[in-house]
Every structure is written in structure tokens, then in C-alpha cells.
Amino acid sequence: MIITSAKLFEEILAILKDEDNIFVIGCNVCAAKLRTGGEPEVLEMCRRLEESGKHVVGWTLPTAACSIRSFESLVEKNEKINEAFCILVMGCGSGVSSVANVAEVPVYGSNDTLSLGGSSGGKLLSEQCVMCGNCTIGEFGGLCPKAQCPKGLLNGPCGGAVDGKCEVARVNDCVWTLIYERLKKIKRLDLLYVIHAPQEHGFK
Ligand code: SF4
Ligand code: SF4
């Protein structure tokens, strides 16, 4: 799941200051789950834009904004998109790019894209992976220090954790504490003795 947060409405209005005849596209997967681009948020966005003097020509909610077959597939959902001078996508950056790839009008995004996360056991998880292109997560018991340690330490911990909390991001658990607990649970503490070579800049 791509983690997004909604921009302030005032920021969106500023982005759209020279635009009118707006078509709004939501995303019925990640953004819907996070309430940054599901149907209620799309309808609320349309209402607020109209209230602010912008004309909204229509809206649609594709299954996933990041998976758009063609512009015609959007027209099939709502032909009003043909009247749009611009499109506002309420998804992640990938959703905005996917729509821009098939649209002939300017495309804007209403969200900030924060990280690659997920949800598990009823909990929303952010920053689970930074898509490094060389996945070694199995060597850390299934918890990624490249994504979850602010220092990106592959041979942690740094020694600064206090009561299991990270010294940099104090509200977060130190991922190396979690890795230790996890490896202990799965009886793989031996993995802590593996020295990991430094990563190339950009992790590739
Ligand atoms: S090692 Fe971490 S950042 Fe790299 S692909 Fe695996 S989970 Fe993602
Ligand atoms: S306290 Fe833990 S998570 Fe925070 S920087 Fe140090 S090793 Fe990384």
C-alpha cells in the first residue's frame, strides 16, 4: 500500500488557481483505505471546489489510479472527462503519473506520497520498504532497517535507543530492537552475527 496524506484544501486551491472545469479522479485501493481519495473524499473535494467557485465537470473512481488502461477507459466511466480543462487525481504520485500518461490536459495531485507501507493485524504500517532494488529483508527477520532505521543501519543498532525507542524518531520503536525480538522468536539470532557490506548510495 502506498501511504499518502491529503494536502490542505487551501494548498490544492492554490495549485488549481489558474484552472477551471476540473475533473476529479479518486483511487479505490490505497487512497480509499487511507481516506485520501475514496468516494466520500472525492465527493467532498467536488463540493468544496464548487463552493470555492471552481466548476467541477465530473468525477470517477477507477479501481486503482495507478493502473489506467487508456483515456478511453476513463471516458467509459464518465464521459464528462472530455469537457475537463484539467484533472485532479486523489491518489499517490504514481496515480497522478498514470493519468497524466494518457491525458491531454494538465493533471494535478491532491495528496502527498509518503512511503510504501501496508496494513497488518488491523494496524496501518508506514515506511516498510524504500524500494532499494536489492531486497535482503529476509536477513533481518522480515523487518527492513533500510526503510525503518532513520540512519539506514544494516549492522545496527546504533546504541542510542532509549527503552526500545529510536533516538532519532523518538515516537518510533527502534527497528533493531524489533529485529532482535523477531530473530529471537524465530530462533535465528545467528543472523545478527552476519556483517552486511555497505550499500551503494541510493541502495542499488
Ligand atoms: S531490502 Fe528493504 S528497502 Fe530493499 S526491497 Fe527489501 S524491504 Fe524494500
Ligand atoms: S535507535 Fe535504532 S532505529 Fe533509531 S537510528 Fe539507532 S539503530 Fe536506527
Give the number of the ligand closest to the Cα of residue 158.
2
Give the number of the ligand closest to the Cα of residue 166.
2
Q: Name the residue among 160, 155, 159 with its Cα closest to residue 191.
A: 155
Ligand 1: residue whose CA is nearest its atom 8: 129
Q: What is the pTM of this model?
A: 0.87
| H helix runs in the chain, sequence order | 9-15, 30-34, 39-51, 71-77, 93-102, 145-148, 175-185
Could you read off the pLDDT tens digit of each residue along the chain, which spans 204 residues?
999 999 999 999 999 999 999 999 999 999 999 999 999 999 999 999 999 999 999 999 999 999 999 999 999 999 999 999 999 999 999 999 999 999 999 999 999 999 999 989 988 899 999 999 889 999 999 999 999 999 999 999 999 999 999 999 888 999 999 999 999 999 999 999 999 988 876 554
Residue spans per domain, the chain: 2-114, 130-193
What count of other Cβ atoms lies within 10 Å of the Cβ of residue 184? 12
Which fold does the domain 2-114 belong to in CATH? Rossmann fold (3.40.50)
